[in-house]
């Protein structure tokens, strides 16, 4: 691992950028400066300046994501955004939320909770691995839509299987049928390009703390204007009053925009991670991240092919269905033991996932990962599974 730009512990081979990201040194400095500034004048910072500071940061992020900045608000993480959307919906008994069987478990929990409240049906379609290709996946969706389908919810890049789903086509077919789309783009910002206004999903959320390398606790919620009135914060706060009772007002509590007013002020909290998002975008621009991303994608794909040549297990999908994260199918084993052995014995931080009884090592490749890291991972897996050397 090379470690000039990031703060990662060099004694660990870190191949799990996908779980919680990692923040570069320079970006982390900006983050800490915001925190210092807040502590020097807490009231000035949070009460008087936060609205305009956050607006500046939202504008920069919106520009990066091809969104109108009035349609986007910062949230702490994707889980919060999905909960915010799911818990604002007014469903009817029997309504169907069409999804896949490859969604992030915490968000599945949120949907199951909400569906049980309304008597609605959370309906996962099966997407096989090896990935059969975008056309077949679209066909699966088309065949599963019924007159009761109110919502299509799915990941843009999946967590367990690292696959890039054909979101543009799915949003288009949903729109043609008057179905609401909710896209979990937790892995997307900084990983693959997205233009939110062109995509025109009804709702979209993404993490800035993963592939954009912003500090932990920075994410966004995008909603098209027609949904602003019906979308309620998980925390009901000052943004819900027309005037401020018992206190003189702060700019942070008010504002003309319902969407921003309701979701931005969530009680006292540290907004430094949000304010650091522009620095993370500028950091990636400065370090020519388009080239970094391409190198990482190439290394990821090469690693996937090299490992498949050793195991003779089928590849999990076509090369262009993966970004900087790939899944390596491994022979049958205890997944927990595999994960702990890789970490304890080989000092490799890498997640082990399971889908349909197949166990995978999900390897992430970020700027700091080298060919040597790929060799280390393959060497360790060869050792553990007693695979031939070529
Ligand atoms: C597809 C997907 N959705 C949602 C999440 C949740 O992200 P967070 O923990 O930042 O809310 C993850 C986390 O890895 C994810 O992979």
Q: Whose CA is nearest to atom 12 of ligand 1?
A: 186
Split at pLDDT 50, 70, 90, the class of 243 is low
Residue 157 has pLDDT above 80, yes or no: yes
At residue 249, does pLDDT exceed 80? no
What is residue 196's predicted lDDT score, i.e. its pLDDT?
98
Task: Tell me the Cα Rg of the chain.
Answer: 22
284 in contact with ligand 1, CB cutoff 6 A:
no
Checking if the pLDDT of 303 tops 80, the result is yes
Q: Hey, what domains does the chain have and what are their CATH numbers?
A: 13-23+288-385 (3.90.1150.10), 27-284 (3.40.640.10)
CA 157–ligand 1 middle distance (angstroms): 10
Least confident of 31-45, 239-253, 268-282: 239-253
**pLDDT score of 244 more than 70:** no
Query: How far apart are the CA of 188 and the centre of ligand 1, in A?
Result: 11
SS3 state of residue 182: strand
pLDDT confidence band for 254 (50 / 70 / 90): confident
* CA separation for the pair 1, 273 (Å, rounded): 26
Is 80 exceeded by the pLDDT of residue 72? yes
Quote the ligand 1 centre to 158 CA distance (angstroms): 9
Please say whether the beta carbons of 196 and 66 come within 8 A: yes
Report the percent of the chain where pLDDT is more than 70. 99
Residue 376 has pLDDT above 80, yes or no: yes
User: Measuring from atom 16 of ligand 1, which residue has the nearest CA?
Assistant: 159
pTM of the model: 0.97
- Cα(79) to centroid(ligand 1), Å: 6
What is the residue-averaged pLDDT of the chain?
Answer: 96
The 10 Å CB-count burial string (b at 16+, else e) for 282-313 is ebbeeeebeebbeebbebbbebbeebeebbeb
The Cα 40–Cα 25 span in angstroms is: 23
pLDDT at 2: 87
pLDDT at 390: 64
């Amino acid at each position: 691992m090379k470690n000039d730009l990031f703060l990662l512990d060099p004694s660990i081979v870190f191949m799990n950028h996908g779980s919680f990201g990692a923040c570069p040194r320079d970006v982390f400095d900006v983050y800490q400066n915001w925190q210092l500034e807040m502590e020097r004048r807490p009231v000035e910072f949070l009460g008087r300046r936060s609205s305009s500071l956050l607006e500046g940061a939202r504008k920069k992020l919106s520009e990066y994501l091809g969104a109108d900045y009035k349609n986007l608000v910062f949230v702490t993480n994707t889980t919060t955004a999905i909960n915010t959307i799911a818990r604002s919906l007014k469903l009817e008994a029997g309504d169907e939320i069409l999804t896949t069987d490859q969604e992030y478990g915490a968000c599945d929990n949120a949907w199951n909770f909400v569906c049980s409240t309304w008597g609605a049906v959370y309906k996962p379609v099966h997407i096989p691995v090896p990935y059969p290709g975008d056309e077949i996946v679209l066909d699966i969706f088309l065949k599963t839509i019924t007159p009761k389908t109110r919502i299509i919810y799915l990941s843009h890049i999946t967590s367990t299987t690292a696959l890039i789903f054909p979101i543009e086509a799915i949003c288009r077919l949903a729109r043609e049928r008057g179905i609401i789309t909710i896209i979990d783009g937790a892995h997307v910002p900084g990983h693959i390009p997205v233009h939110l206004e062109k995509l025109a999903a009804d709702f979209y959320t993404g993490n800035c703390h993963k592939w954009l390398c912003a500090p932990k606790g920075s994410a966004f919620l995008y909603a098209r204007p027609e949904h602003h009135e019906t979308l309620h914060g998980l925390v009901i706060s000052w943004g819900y009053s027309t005037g401020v009772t018992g206190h003189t007002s702060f700019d942070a509590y008010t504002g003309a925009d319902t969407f921003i007013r309701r979701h931005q002020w969530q009680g006292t909290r540290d907004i430094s991670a949000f304010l650091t998002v522009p620095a993370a975008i500028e950091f990636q621009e400065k370090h020519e991240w388009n080239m970094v991303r391409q190198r990482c994608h190439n290394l990821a794909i090469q690693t996937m092919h090299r490992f498949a040549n050793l195991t003779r297990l089928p590849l999990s999908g076509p090369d262009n269905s993966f970004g900087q994260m790939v899944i390596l199918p491994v022979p049958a084993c205890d997944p927990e033991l595999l994960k702990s052995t890789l970490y304890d014995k080989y000092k490799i931080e890498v997640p082990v996932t399971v889908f349909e009884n197949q166990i995978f090592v999900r390897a992430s490749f970020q700027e700091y990962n080298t060919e040597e890291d790929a060799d280390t991972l393959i060497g360790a897996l060869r050792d553990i599974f007693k695979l031939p050397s070529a």
